């Protein structure tokens, strides 16, 4: 098993909140999706890398369109729409519904 850094208290609280939200609103609720995103953002970097690797292996996400300066993968709306069989407006609506903030920094595009 790979060494992971210890989870932060914020991540542990987010996991507990996630369990409570699933119990209260259900696994496919908007509240669950939003909390899951929050939990992923607070996860230790090594766990985030493992999750990205598994998602890539299972073809759950398209290849990144680029990377941020700190190495995080970035995805454009057109690639997400094509991968998931949605329109770009549906992807944008999902992004807004999940309260995700579009990345505003430098983008290192894949050549």
Domain boundaries, the chain: 9-43, 50-111
Residue 34 is given by DSSP the state: H
Indicate the helix (H) or strand (E) that contains 50. Answer: helix 45-57
Gyration radius of the chain over CA positions = 15
Q: What does the alpha-carbon distance between residue 108 and residue 25 come to, in Å, rounded to a whole number?
A: 39
pLDDT tens digits along 77-104 = 999 999 999 999 999 998 888 888 888 8
For the entire predicted model, the pTM comes to: 0.70
Average pLDDT over residues 30-59: 92
pLDDT tens digits along 46-58 = 999 899 899 999 9
């Amino acid at each position: 098993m790979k060494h992971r850094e210890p989870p932060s208290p914020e991540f542990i609280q987010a996991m507990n909140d996630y369990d409570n939200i699933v119990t209260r609103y259900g696994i496919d609720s908007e509240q669950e999706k939003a909390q899951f995103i929050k939990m992923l953002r607070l996860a230790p970097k090594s766990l985030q890398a493992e999750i990205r690797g598994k998602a890539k292996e299972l073809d759950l996400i398209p290849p990144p369109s680029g990377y941020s300066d700190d190495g995080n993968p970035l995805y454009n709306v057109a690639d997400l729409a094509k991968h998931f069989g949605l329109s770009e407006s549906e992807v944008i609506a999902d992004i807004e519904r999940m309260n995700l903030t579009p990345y505003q920094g430098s983008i290192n595009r894949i050549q």
